[in-house]
Structure 1
């Protein structure tokens, strides 16, 4: 059995037509039909119901299809990762979530560039969830994100639990707690802006999960496109917003930031790499992480997760 036979079979299943599959594969229909028949003979089973229009798989064919997709996906991932690993001495692609640009990430990247002048660094903005697939496909080599997403192919290193702050207008009644702090249970009746309005899970999902963990249900949570829009609305007196501590550096006028007293109110900051990747750039950038955290006086966790 060859990989091309699996590709032929998967394409026929997904197109539900030998004719359409042949067009997509850029081969003639008769050879494609013969290859499918040959595959059935080799397996000793019928993969498709005879005479069905559109083409339908048998129960055994559907089972085989699911595994064929996995085989092709894993093969593509392994090929892409092998190519990336062989070329990382020239370019290291780093994926990041945008909010980390307000944290220590720029310092880490700058130090890495200074210490590794022969290595080209390419920064690619992408959400934590997208970073997992990008790592597996070899599109990036390192990911810096904020969410806990597990995948057996990815090693995730928790670096820090960054505190969350509550952003409010300076004239909001909650501004009186700027020194004392507030519990999330005290803000469930407020209009809370969350962000971003993008594919889940994201930072908005994290905020919702913190409320859920505490047994709280916000009565009015509104999702907006990104953090600047959320803070802009708060600065206009529209509502309130939860942000990572480092994002308070955005410096928008009329805003004050209140400590949140719940221990659960934090955003994890993690670095992700491919599980089997032994490339030299990984310990090199970890050393930069250690140096920057130490210089800034911030505790570094470095827990594998």
Structure 2
């Protein structure tokens, strides 16, 4: 069988040069001398028959082929590191299960997961979806409870279902005594929402709904926690959006929850559990 041009050692060398932008910087990063690193990069390019770096008067930059290899190399090395960690942890009699979760998982999903692994030691960390994706790829957590869309390759996952949004209105609002409303009735209102980076896909969906009703989404205030958002809503600053499960769990003074009849299929959160197949109970 022909020798592969790629192995974990040369990929780490390649990434060190790519990240540093020079052989000198890559050598310093790896704590080796420059000549063998220069030779390793040249040998890699020769074996692949491709130019991976464009040599500049000062430094180096990746070619198109180099960028593709860098992306694949980061994914491959992360999976190798994850595999090594999982194998080593089989030596432990009752290994710690490291769990990442978004705040929405506190409405039942996290509790159900913990019940399913009762008796096992756990380490819990509240993390955003992007943070969990990185941690899963790098093997820093074993299970993630996060929002789609996700970009985690080669790991089992399953949906835990959708949770539609209700309107959260100040109890003095003209619509607060209603049992239901259409999104058009609140499209032009100032909103109290989450930071965009916390849920860019969901924020985009809200913006599209407003646009379809000839409005531009106005965010009067934002806060990362639902309790903080509801406190702002209660103060009359704007209208909030809260999931059905969260509304059932909360009794917040000064806020009324009203069903939005025409957005159930478009305005919702979805939780996905990702990780070891035995831990996430795949059907």
TM (norm. structure 1) is 0.75
Alignment of 1:245-260 (within 5 A): 245-248=244-247, 249-260=249-260
- Name the residue aligned to 1:104: 108
Corresponding residue pairs, total: 270
- Name the residue aligned to 1:73: 75
**Post-superposition offset of 1:209:** 0.7
8 Å Cα contact 2:205/2:267 also seen in 1: no
- Name the residue aligned to 1:206: 202
Over 3 Å counting, the alpha-carbon distance change for 1:126 and 1:81 in structure 2 is farther
The CA distance in 2 between the partners of 1:99 and 1:18, in whole Å, is 45
The CA distance in 1 between the partners of 2:115 and 2:53, in whole Å, is 58
RMSD: 3.0
Over 3 Å counting, the alpha-carbon distance change for 1:108 and 1:212 in structure 2 is same
The CA distance in 2 between the partners of 1:146 and 1:47, in whole Å, is 35
The CA distance in 2 between the partners of 1:233 and 1:176, in whole Å, is 19
Q: 2:40 aligns with which of 32, 35, 39?
A: 35
SS at match of 1:123: strand
- Name the residue aligned to 2:192: 193
TM (norm. structure 2) is 0.80
The CA distance in 1 between the partners of 2:88 and 2:156, in whole Å, is 19
**Post-superposition offset of 1:56:** 3.2
**Post-superposition offset of 1:120:** 1.0
- Name the residue aligned to 2:126: 125
SS at match of 2:176: helix
- Name the residue aligned to 2:136: 135
The CA distance in 2 between the partners of 1:34 and 1:110, in whole Å, is 51
Q: Residues 253-288 of structure 1, C-alpha deviation per residue, up to 9 Å, x if partnerless?
A: 2111111112325534333224xx443x333xx7xx
- Name the residue aligned to 1:221: 219
8 Å Cα contact 1:184/1:211 also seen in 2: no
SS at match of 2:139: coil
Gaps of 5+ in 1: 287-301
Q: Residues 138-168 of structure 1, C-alpha deviation per residue, up to 9 Å, x if partnerless?
A: 2222222343435543443222222321111
Matched, 1:232 2:231: yes
Which stretches of structure 1, 4 residues or longer, exceed 6 Å deviation after superposition?
Answer: none
8 Å Cα contact 2:207/2:217 also seen in 1: no
8 Å Cα contact 2:205/2:266 also seen in 1: no
Over 3 Å counting, the alpha-carbon distance change for 1:29 and 1:82 in structure 2 is closer
Alignment of 1:38-49 (within 5 A): 38-43=43-48, 47-48=52-53
- Name the residue aligned to 1:294: none
**Post-superposition offset of 1:99:** 2.9
The CA distance in 1 between the partners of 2:52 and 2:148, in whole Å, is 41
8 Å Cα contact 2:193/2:219 also seen in 1: yes
Over 3 Å counting, the alpha-carbon distance change for 1:38 and 1:86 in structure 2 is closer
The CA distance in 1 between the partners of 2:54 and 2:216, in whole Å, is 52
- Name the residue aligned to 2:176: 175
The CA distance in 2 between the partners of 1:191 and 1:169, in whole Å, is 12
**Post-superposition offset of 1:65:** 4.8
Over 3 Å counting, the alpha-carbon distance change for 1:90 and 1:237 in structure 2 is same
